[in-house]
Structure 1
C-alpha cells in the first residue's frame, strides 16, 4: 500500500504546496496530490495552479493578513522557479 509520504514524495509539488492546494480546495492531502498530478500533466494546468496561489495571496491581502500573504508569495515564487511553464504567457 502506498503511504501519504510516498504520495507526497512522488508529487510534482512540495509538501507545503500540496498542503496549500488541499486547503484552497477544501480536500484531503491525498485528493490534492491526485488533483495536482492531473493538472501538472494537462494543458494549462500548471497555470491554473499559479492562478490558485495568486487568488490565495489576494484573499490574504484583502483580509489584512500580511504574514499569510508573504508565506503564500514565497510558495508562489518557489512554484514558478520549479515550474516556469506556469508563468502567464509561456508556451
Structure 2
C-alpha cells in the first residue's frame, strides 16, 4: 500500500528550535528513505512541511513511522494521511476490462 503523509508545522520554529531539531530530522528522514519506508518526498510550496509517499501495510503503520520523527516527537509537526492506489478507471480503456 502507498500512503501520502502530508506534514504541517504546528507553529513556526524559532532559530534555536530549528538548530536543535533539524540535525536530527534530516538524517532520520534519509534513513526512512534508505530503508524503503519513504518512496518519494517533496517540500510543500504552500506552507512549510514535507510530503512523503510512503510504503506501508496500513495507514496506522505510516502514522507509527512518522510519530517517531524528531519534529513530531518535539511537538512541532503533525501529519495527515491519505491511502492511495493505482488509477483504477484507466482499466476501462483496456478492452475486456
Provide TM-score, normalisation by structure 2.
0.30
Q: Which has the higher contact order (CA 8 A, sep 6+)?
A: 2
Give the number of the structure whose residues are more often strand, by fraction.
Answer: 2
